[in-house]
Amino acid sequence: MKFKNLLLLASASLLVTKAYAGAYMFPELGMMSISTAGAGAQAVAEGAETAFANPAAMTELSSTAVAFNLQGMVSNINYTDSGSTGLFAGGDSSTKAGTAMPVASFYVVTPLSDKWSAGLAFASAGGSIIDYGSQFSGSLLLQDAQLTTVQLNPSIAYQVKGNWSLGLGLVAEYGLLEQNFAGHEESLLPPLTAEGSSVEFGYTLSSLYKFNHNNRVGFTYRSELNHAMDGDISTSNNGSTSSVNIIMPATAIISGYHQLNSKPALLWSLGWSDFSKVSETAIALPNREAGIAREWQDTFSASVGMHYPLNQQWRLESGVYYETSPQDDPSLQYPDVPTGELWKLGLGASYEINQNWRMQMYYEYYYGGTPSIDYTLFEGSAAESTLKGDYEAAVHFFGVLFNYQF
């Protein structure tokens, strides 16, 4: 029974979702500058989606605007085992854990006066789905999982001067976590199911400064959201309440937009995410607490992109993005978070349907690198087991964004 309790605690410690360099943060789900790989998102200010990317830039819209996005997210995650031992031995030599999920978001911005504008965004800053299957070497720790987050962001913007605006927003985020863990017949260990949810609140601060008509810079800071995912972890025979701490770290991004001449525009962004706050994953069960070491580090990102008009209706868009890794030590990797350096390549096109409607089509290739895992469970005991292998991870984002300006 003691061994089963240890396994229950170890399994509960993994109640988070898959991650890459940016961990479980996916700006693609909300900021909508996917065609430029995020470059210029805080400075573009041409549609209602700026209510999420940079609320201060809402003052650039002269009339009420709405936008809605329909998106697909397809992941390709390949795990190759390189000699797992103990309870992790005997699984498939290679595992495909990729899945697909639909995403949608909605935005609205309206001017209140010559100086004030208000907006609302219904979107997400993170979330994912992964499915290793029961034959994965590490399925005792994670078989499949889904993390869903939804944010409601009301915001307001004020034009301090003709070339400078400030924005303030509130964030209410709902998170839902569901996971399954396979059992182990030889050790008489039953399958486990876990779920939890949380609602947390935060804020955004933002600014937009225009040097002239062709050059502007935008900045956005999004506060940390500290989720306590309260729920249950159970087997077919019994269950227990559980709580898992998942931190959506604070982020800061500065972006620029520069119209070079009559045709192309250069876009860029620099970003920071406070992942050093994720030093451990805190787990709480009745009469028992644990902290699973993460020891992540802050990540830094840079992206550059371009808008190239072809004519009055069509504009081509592209960009490239790089982000540092929060953790490169294989002994601190877990099946839920195979982190590594991150590269993105974005492509897309905007089409002016008429004076009111604009359509933006986009695709992004998100490459999560080839992180390795060398994770040991029950170290120093007779049941010591090591999950040892290598990952190759990529995600494809594609979709269409519609903007309507009244």
pLDDT (0 to 100) of residue 187: 57
Q: Which domain holds residue 215?
A: 2-405
Average pLDDT over residues 120-146: 81
Q: What would the pLDDT profile of 50-105 be if each residue is shown by its tens digit?
A: 999 999 999 999 999 999 999 998 888 899 999 999 888 888 889 988 888 888 89
pLDDT (0 to 100) of residue 189: 67
Task: State the pLDDT confidence band at 124, using cuts at 50, 70 and 90.
Answer: confident
Rg (CA), the chain: 22
pLDDT (0 to 100) of residue 215: 96
- Distance in angstroms (rounded) separating the CA atoms of residues 217 and 268: 10
Average pLDDT over residues 105-123: 96
Q: Is 404 exposed, middle or buried (0-12, 13-18, 19+ CB in 10 A)?
A: middle
Task: State the pLDDT confidence band at 307, using cuts at 50, 70 and 90.
Answer: very high
Average pLDDT over residues 199-221: 96
Average pLDDT over residues 374-399: 90
**pLDDT above 90 covers what percent of the chain?**
51
pLDDT (0 to 100) of residue 202: 96
Smallest CA-to-CA distance from 326 within 336, 337, 310, 311 is with 337
Q: Is 211 exposed, middle or buried (0-12, 13-18, 19+ CB in 10 A)?
A: exposed
pLDDT (0 to 100) of residue 62: 94
Number of domains in the chain: 1
Low-confidence winner among 35-44, 283-292, 308-317, 390-399 (lowest mean pLDDT): 283-292
Task: Name the average pLDDT for the chain.
Answer: 86
- Tell whether the model's pLDDT for residue 291 goes beyond 70: no
Q: What would the pLDDT profile of 308-317 be if each residue is shown by its tens digit?
A: 999 999 999 9
pLDDT (0 to 100) of residue 111: 97
Q: In Å, how far are 71, 244, 259, 267, 336 from 264, measured between CA atoms?
A: 27, 47, 6, 10, 41
Angle, alpha carbons 264-266-267 (nearest 5°) = 135
335: left (phi over 0), alpha (psi -120 to 50) or beta: alpha
pLDDT (0 to 100) of residue 223: 96
pLDDT (0 to 100) of residue 231: 84
- Tell whether the model's pLDDT for residue 119 goes beyond 90: yes
Task: State the pLDDT confidence band at 293, using cuts at 50, 70 and 90.
Answer: low
- Tell whether the model's pLDDT for residue 15 goes beyond 50: no
- Tell whether the model's pLDDT for residue 206 goes beyond 90: yes
Assign residue 141 the CATH number of its domain: 2.40.160.60
- Distance in angstroms (rounded) separating the CA atoms of residues 359 and 234: 47
- Distance in angstroms (rounded) separating the CA atoms of residues 384 and 87: 8
Task: State the pLDDT confidence band at 188, using cuts at 50, 70 and 90.
Answer: low
SS (H, E, C) 107-137: EEEEECCCCEEEEEEEECCEEEEEECCCCCC
Residues whose CB is less than 8 angstroms from the CB of residue 75 and which lie 6 or more positions away in sequence, other chains included: 18, 97, 98, 99, 100, 128, 129, 130, 393, 394, 395, 396
Q: What would the pLDDT profile of 356-367 be if each residue is shown by its tens digit?
A: 999 999 999 999
pLDDT (0 to 100) of residue 398: 95
Average pLDDT over residues 142-160: 89
- Distance in angstroms (rounded) separating the CA atoms of residues 295 and 277: 9
- Tell whether the model's pLDDT for residue 399 goes beyond 90: yes
- The Cβ-side half-sphere exposure at 16, using a 13 Å CA radius, reads 29
Average pLDDT over residues 164-183: 88
pLDDT (0 to 100) of residue 184: 64
Backbone angles phi, psi at 383, to 5 degrees: -95, 15
More confident residue, 172 or 280: 172
- Tell whether the model's pLDDT for residue 6 goes beyond 60: no
Average pLDDT over residues 366-383: 88
What token pair was written down for 252?
């800061």
